[in-house]
Amino acid sequence: MRNIADTLREAITSIGDILALDPTASRIEAQCLLQHVLSVPRVYLLAHPEQTLSEVQRDAFDALLQRRLRGEPIAHLLGEREFFGMNLKVTPATLIPRPDTELIVELALNRIPHTQPYRVLDMGTGSGAIALAIAKHKPNTEVVAVDVSQDALAVAIENAQRLKIPNVSFIRSDWFSALNGQRFDLIVSNPPYISSGDIHLSQGDLRFEPLSALASGADGLDDIRRIVSAAPQYLTANGWLLLEHGYDQAGSVRDLLTQRGFVEVFSEKDLAGIERVTGGKLPDSK
């Protein structure tokens, strides 16, 4: 019979060898899988290394481990991912929220006033990560989140209900198509921005995520062009548009914003030093 310590040690080695992860990442993943099977916090694993696993627990852990070793994202195995201090449900119908995306939330929060009424639109909301983070930290702000996928919206709505965040509403819409001329003070989006021929689409976690939420034309900018082109019709004067994009797209996105008449155009780097979010402000006269 295997105990917790032996189970973790074997899993850490397998994950590291097969998925080429460093020891720290391998240990975290192994612990997360075993926590999920045993329904215990991480500290429990550390405090009870000699506890023997039952046959049912061992089989359940081995099944999850084999799925992970075949490359299935750990967020899908656990059914959730932490983002901006929230545990969000995720499914294969949504993108897995990533730490890089927290940057666009921070930039949005910095632009939202504390007191006056303010409307925010999150486009392509997926699991609801960006919309819910903004709504949670700015409870006086009205947040509208749209996605063309009904399955993704169902996940986002469930997250909002479970987290008890009331100041966000969800609309099924192909970008702006169902918004009927509504106007917003801030529009944020983490749209598809990978080129359709990118080899990374067939590698790693991306193999298990919805292609429609990842790829956007030959250069990855088709959806960003669409958003930038239409956004002025849905923004208030002095309203902001913030877009997450690929590692090499900041210059192109700045050009698109400038050509469309946005001012104070900027790009912000993520923790890896990559220009990850680009934005601009709509002037008083469009």
Question: Is residue 215 in a domain?
Answer: yes
Domain boundary among 70, 96, 111: 70
**pLDDT tens-digit readout, 149-207:** 999 999 999 999 999 999 999 999 999 999 998 999 999 999 876 666 555 444 555 55
Do 156 and 100 share a structural domain? Answer: yes
Do 105 and 52 share a structural domain? Answer: no
Do 94 and 17 share a structural domain? Answer: no
* Per-residue pLDDT at 18: 92
Pairing of strands 275-281, 263-269: antiparallel
Total domains present in the chain? 2
Residues 4, 44: Cα–Cα separation, whole Å: 10
Question: Is residue 77 in a domain?
Answer: no
CATH number at residue 34: 1.10.8
Do 235 and 267 share a structural domain? Answer: yes
* Model confidence band, residue 126 (pLDDT cutoffs 50, 70, 90): very high
Q: Which structural domain, as residue segments, surrounds residue 137?
A: 84-281
Do 196 and 142 share a structural domain? Answer: yes
* Per-residue pLDDT at 284: 82
Structure tokens, 26: 């391998």
Do 143 and 30 share a structural domain? Answer: no
Enter the pTM of the model.
Answer: 0.86
**Extended strands (E) in 124-274:** 142-147, 168-172, 184-189, 235-244, 263-269
- CA separation, residue 230 to residues 176, 225, 285 (Å): 8, 9, 16
Do 163 and 259 share a structural domain? Answer: yes
* Model confidence band, residue 246 (pLDDT cutoffs 50, 70, 90): confident
φ, ψ for residue 41 (rounded to 5)? -75, 165
CATH number at residue 150: 3.40.50.150
